[in-house]
Amino acid sequence: MASVSSGNQDCYSPLELFNRIAVQGELVRTLKASSAPKDEIESAVKMLLSLKTSYRTAMGEEYKADCPPGNPAPRGNSAPKADEEEEDFVDPWTVQTSSAKGVDYDKLIVRFGSSKIDKELINRVERATGQRPHRFLRRGIFFSHRDMNQVLDAYENKKPFYLYTGRGPSSEAMHVGHLIPFIFTKWLQDVFSVPLVIQMTDDEKYLWKDLTLDQAYGYAVENAKDIIACGFDINKTFIFSDLAYMGSSPAFYKNVVKIQKHVTFNQVKGIFGFTDSDSIGKISFPAIQAAPSFSNSFPQIFGDRSDVQCLIPCAIDQDPYFRMTRDVAPRIGYPKPALLHSTFFPALQGAQTKMSASDPNSSIFLTDTAKQIKTKVNKHAFSGGRDTVEEHRQLGGNCDVDVSFMYLTFFLEDDDRLEQIRKDYSSGAMLTGELKKELVDVLQPLIAEHQARRKEVTDEVALRFMAPRPLSCFQ
């Protein structure tokens, strides 16, 4: 039984060190319990101590099994320090920041150990595709990546890759923020002409929410219709419900089991913050979200090929799932998935939190009427304007915290017009009401056009997208 490879511990992120300590600690316990040779136990203990030293150097504090980096430590009755209160908190279920500007993404890149999407990478995408980079790339909305250069290497060398993204269907109605990964994924599908798999994690929502299995699956189908309305090509796209697909696909389930065998309870506790009172369904779910990262989970598309590179566009709060996946991949003989991370879409009330599907005033929903859109923006969109018109004319507004301007950066295609709005609002030449009108004028036709496309997506169309089948772009 071998120890965790030491590699160059300086290049590991704190979370990777934390996970490696958990794995190595379990190995030491196993060796001792099985009365392994003394030198083997001593070697494993030495590695464990070395990892803990590296962790202490990186974090400035001792390793604690119940306190993964980036999660608030259990404090009992002691009050948090001021700097701890200001620290952003991001995991797959919670996003919190005290800053009206939103999460500090530069710090998050460092904490998660990913790479910034820089101008050089954007230029390379443009050269490879022959297409102008999407506005989400131009404006830093997709801001971080893992191994995107490897995907471009494969593409330039005529080697295949595929796209994987997903949606957790917690209600029938989706909001505009939910569209962000799908708008970008459609662009990637179009410019690279590659297969796409979209996972509907209805099983996850059943485990985490107060839903029946039938409700969760029903939401998956309804959400799939909104996703299809983004314009995906049925010949290149497979949308699947976990509840429906996993039971009919031995290849998918075999990969789930392989992943489950190579991830310990300590690891998932460290990565996801699970506790002893969480259901075993929650604890095992990360393996299900990891499985689509491997091409042989879809034999109807890729046959028995396990070497097709996967690229995952997603919001960065989903990265913990795929850090785990990337750690497991080489141990089960598969390539690591690459990732493209997006920023969070702010709630109307401000960038401190993600939106809530349970609060209809926290965002613009895809079912909203033109009147509802106008009312929500005018009444609820957090403003970076001044208290009085006179003060605003003199000092100008703050685009960094103004939600209407943030939304325009996502949805207004014209770069020159966006820059003019920024200048006018910052200088005081444009008032808050005028900025909100600019947003309403962008959102109303965008939502109306989506609703028109959505009406064309019948149950029959949705089920055709969700039927396991070959895809014409991979033969």
What secondary structure does DSSP assign to 101-113, as a single string?
A: T---HHHHHHHHT
Compute and round to an integer the Cα radius of gyration of the chain: 23
Q: What is the DSSP letter of 336?
A: P
Q: Which two tokens stand for residue 195?
A: 């297969």
pLDDT in tens, 291-350: 999 999 999 999 999 999 999 999 999 999 999 999 999 999 999 999 999 999 998 988
Of 361, 391, 366, nearest in space to 378 by CA:
361
Q: What is the pLDDT of residues 202-231, one digit of tens each?
A: 999 999 999 999 999 999 999 999 999 999
Three-state DSSP at 164 gives: strand
pTM: 0.81
Nearest residue to 323 via CA among 311, 301, 339: 339
List the chain residues with pLDDT less than 50: 1-8, 71-85
Alpha-helical runs (H) found in 102-249? 105-112, 119-129, 135-138, 148-156, 176-192, 202-208, 213-228, 242-245
Closest CA to 152 of 185, 127, 174: 127
Q: What is the pLDDT of residues 150-159, one digit of tens each?
A: 999 999 999 9
Residue 194 CB coordination number (10 Å): 21
Alpha-carbon distance 345 to 353, whole Å?
Answer: 9
CA–CA separation, 472 and 166 (whole Å): 21
Cβ neighbors of 254 (< 8 A, separation 6 or more) are: none
Q: DSSP of 421-453, one letter per residue?
A: HHHHHHHTSS-HHHHHHHHHHHHHHHHHHHHHH
At 466 the pLDDT is 98
- Helix runs in 273-388, H state only: 280-290, 299-302, 319-328, 370-380
